[in-house]
Structure 1
Amino acid sequence: MHYATSLFHFSPIVYIAIAFYLAIAYFLLRKWLFFFLEDKEMSDSQRSISRVILFIATIFWPIIVPIAYIELLNLHMKYKKEIDVLIGQTDGISTDEEI
């Protein structure tokens, strides 16, 4: 009987890690689901595949997010000149609020 009660007794750090994992997974699922629902150009087959990928990515976010970030950095390095030009163009545009 004592073994059964100690089976689910973990260190507080484990509970904190689980809570952190679930909180980030919830946040990412909300954000990714928003983008998923906003895309009106997907066919039914693309939607069903995307739905599966969405839930797999949410479960494995500790792997997916760093890989996506590395891809984003590579994309930024590849198109750095174009990005700098676009940023420079937007800095020169004045709005009515600035005047």
Structure 2
Amino acid sequence: MSELITIIASLIALLSALYARWTWSEAQKANKISRLNMLLALKQHYSELMLKEHEKARAWGKDDSYAEACRNSYADYQIKYRETSKELENFHARIVADNI
């Protein structure tokens, strides 16, 4: 009788370990998808900021220090946009390689 209880306990422990591994694997996938969504949102945010700076400089209509500041901000956002895009492409390639 004690052998039967030992076998049942071992099977339950084995199933529990398999479930824990599966849960860990799914959590890793969810984290990768979450990071991908965050990078996409950040890329969209920089795109919107670049558009706003361009519109502000255009609406101002003068070529003075304010327009120059808008152009500088646009250039900074463009650099951040490119960095985010590059990181997004690299991360996406890793996700595709992992077959998520």
TM-score (norm 2): 0.38
Radius of gyration: which is bigger? 2
Higher relative contact order (CA 8 A, sep 6+): 2
TM-score (norm 1): 0.38
